[in-house]
Structure 1
Amino acid sequence: MQPNVYTNKKIFLKLENPIMSEHATQVETKEPLNKSNIISFWMIILVFALPPIAAYFMYYSGMMPDGRMNKGTLVQAQQFPDIKLHTIKDNQAFTLKSNQGKWTLMLLADSSCDDLCKKNIYLMRQVKTSLGKDSHNTERLLIMKDSATSSMFNEFLKDYSKMPIVTGNTNDMKMLETFLQTIANEDTKNKVFIIDPFGKVMMHYASELQPKDLLSDLKRLILVNSNDVATNTQ
């Protein structure tokens, strides 16, 4: 009987040890593996999230290093007024939603668009062209206070057929001008405004527009925005 007891005990140990060994391995390796995965996950999130977050903060807080400050006048972004606009050419309704997802260069002009006004219309086109592959991220918009434009000005505008030229009723145009004057804190004549992809006016430039300044700001805005979009689609 004694040998049988010894044999049974031996068999029991053989059956028990593999189970205990496997269980011990799971206890020892499972926890460190999970911690490693969690750390790796947050490291990846930080790597992709910090650059655009930092860029937005530095840009909009005016804390960019010397030589990288915005060139235009940055204002607290305000939603473009909910007014009715229509194209002068064919009287079709127009809204900023047509430019949704793009940065819009906007100029408010009267029917007597002077030489400086015409120059800024020209410069808006040159800046858009200078963006190269990023030009599709921008749009131009000329808003006329009234549609009674001179034949000479109409002739000038023939070279800008790809730019939306719109107007609205008298009350809406007065509302828009007051809105822009509040933002610019001065006269809006011949000023170029930047409207962000969400329809908010967030920057404006002096009447004597410096195209290099506008181009520099647009490049930076497009870069910051594209980094943010890329991060959100990861």
Structure 2
Amino acid sequence: MAQLLPEASPKASPEKRPKKRDRLQLALVFLIPTTAMALAWTMYFTGVWVPDGRTNKGELLLPPAQLADIPLRDGGQAFIPDETDGLWRIVVFGSTECTESQCQESLYKTRQVHIALNKEAERVARFFISPEAPKPSEALESEHPGIYWLAADKNTIETVLGTSQWPSNQVFIIDPLGNVIMSYQPEQPGGDLLNDLKKLLRASSIG
């Protein structure tokens, strides 16, 4: 009597076989952008692996200061910067009346930079912050439409920014997430601020 052979199990079709190469490619699709973003974040906020020959003209604040740590006042009430959330912000720290030429020059430079951004200007807001409620002249106010005239406590500013004194006439950039990331000395030309800001706006997917 012929012996029955065990029936061979059907082979899995090539379509149903897991393809390791496809899974690897899929993993790389997700892994590479995530790794690149993490690396950029680390370089941006810590300075690690950033070459000495970097082209930014401003001084990076490492780690960045936080706008949320600076209580701002608009006249006699607290200023909540919600309406500027999601925007880049250019900040000038000046005196209460901003009558000195250096204070007015810093304001002028930031206004010209804002104008030079052309269509990108709508992504940027301007702040002027003094240690007491600002009292700009009517002429100065008319020269700077749309700017926010604000006040902040001197000691708080020095603590948050890590400075030993009020940063008179210095200019700072705040990103859309509220990170104070870069500063400029009063004597720096407006072109330094403009070039850095253009690069940030071009590279940013937010704000």
Both structures adopt the same fold (TM-score exceeding 0.5): yes
Aligned residue in 2 for 1:103:
88
Counterpart-to-counterpart distance in 2, 1:50 and 1:219: 25
Q: 1:85 to 1:128 in 2, by over 3 A?
A: same
Residue 164 of structure 1 is matched in structure 2 by 148
Rg (Cα) greater in structure: 1
Structure 1's 127 and 112: CA in aligned 2 closer, same or farther, altered over 3 A?
same
* Deviation of 1:25 (Å): 3.6
Residue pair 2:91, 2:129 contacting (<8 A) in 1 also: yes
Distance 1:38 1:187 in 2: 56
Q: Secondary structure at the match of 2:11?
A: helix
Aligned partner letter, 1:196:
D
CA RMSD of aligned residues (A): 3.2
Structure 1's 93 and 177: CA in aligned 2 closer, same or farther, altered over 3 A?
Answer: closer
Instruction: Please report the TM-score for the alignment, with normalisation by the length of structure 1.
Output: 0.69
Equivalent position to 2:158, from 173, 178, 200: 178
1:93-128 deviations in Å (ceiling 9; x for gaps): 522332211221111221242111111111112222
Whether 1:85 and 2:73 are equivalent positions in the alignment is yes
Name the count of aligned residue pairs. Answer: 201
Structure with bigger helix share is 1
2:72·2:79 contact (CA, 8 Å) conserved in 1?
Answer: yes
| Paired-residue identity, % | 27
Q: CA deviation at 1:160?
A: 1.3
Deviation at 1:187, TM superposition (A): 4.5
In 2, Cα distance between equivalents of 1:148 and 1:162: 15
**Distance change (3 Å), C-alpha of 1:65 and 1:200:** closer
Residues 134 and 149, structure 2, Cα contact 8 Å, conserved in 1: no
SS in 2 for 1:134: helix
Distance across 1 between alignment mates of 2:107 and 2:202: 24
| Aligned position for 1:217 | 196
CA distance in 1, matches of 2:165, 2:153: 17
Q: Is the 8 A contact 2:128 2:148 kept in 1?
A: yes
**8 A Cα contact 2:70 2:156, kept in partner:** no
**How far does the alpha carbon of each residue in 1:114-155 deviate from its partner, in whole angstroms, 9 at most, with x for none?**
1111111111122223233332322110123233626xx331
Query: Which of 95, 116, 120 lines up with 2:102 in the alignment?
Result: 116
User: What residue is the counterpart of 1:141 in the other structure?
Assistant: 127
Where do 5+ consecutive residues of structure 2 fail to align?
Answer: none
Using the TM superposition, name which of 38-47 and 53-62 deviates more. Answer: 53-62
2:58–2:192 Cα contact (<8 Å) kept: yes
Q: Is the 8 A contact 2:154 2:166 kept in 1?
A: no
Q: 1:216 to 1:117 in 2, by over 3 A?
A: same
TM-score by length of 2: 0.77
